Structure 1
Amino acid sequence: MGRSHRHLPPLTAAELADIYDRHPLPVVLQLLWEIHRLRSTIRRANQVRLMIGTRVGSANTPAGIWERFEQDLDAEPCLTDPLTPRQKGLLHEGEPQGRLKRRRRNGD
């Protein structure tokens, strides 16, 4: 049973970094922070899914909704993307990484 997609395929972290590298504008950075916030929400949803398991989730949600939820989460590249050089703090060797280190220490 195939699904029709009304959306373009999700962008990977590397693709998002490339967009900013090509268009390093404040508005692009603002949009990327919003994408980061939404991806953090997806990661939390994945943590909830892993904690409650599919049997519990299936029992507490209407038929088909849990399965779709899992399919949507499984299709999210932010759950499997390798870190980009910027996320690793390796963009410029020897460059101060203060903000990145602080955010990573806080779990982001």
Structure 2
Amino acid sequence: MQNEEIFMKRCIELASKAIGYVSPNPMVGCLIVYEGKIIGEGNHEKYGKAHAEVNAINSVKDKSLLKKSTLYVNLEPCAHFGKTPPCTNLIIESE
């Protein structure tokens, strides 16, 4: 199995932790990968709370690595203001 497949599988595993907690939103998991190693991960844990991308970025201890890392997520990051701000803004600001 290729690394990308392993990382996407982990995103789906993280997303599945939210079964029954995020509806009507989708279940989402996210990884931050630096040089082939997972340095951060998160999922959307509860409706109205931080999205997977936010939780993954916040879980990274060394924020200086974010610019050099790859973000894997099983759903396109949101780009609108709703109950939470757009994940795309945070991703761009983290570069």
Would you say same fold, with TM above 0.5? no
Greater strand fraction, Structure 1 or Structure 2: 2
TM-score interval (norm. to shorter): 0.3 to 0.5
Q: Which has the larger radius of gyration?
A: 1
TM-score (norm 1): 0.30
Looking at secondary structure, tell me which structure has more helix per residue: 1
Q: Higher RCO, 1 or 2 (CA under 8 Å, sep at least 6)? A: 1
Report the TM-score, using the length of structure 2 for normalisation: 0.33
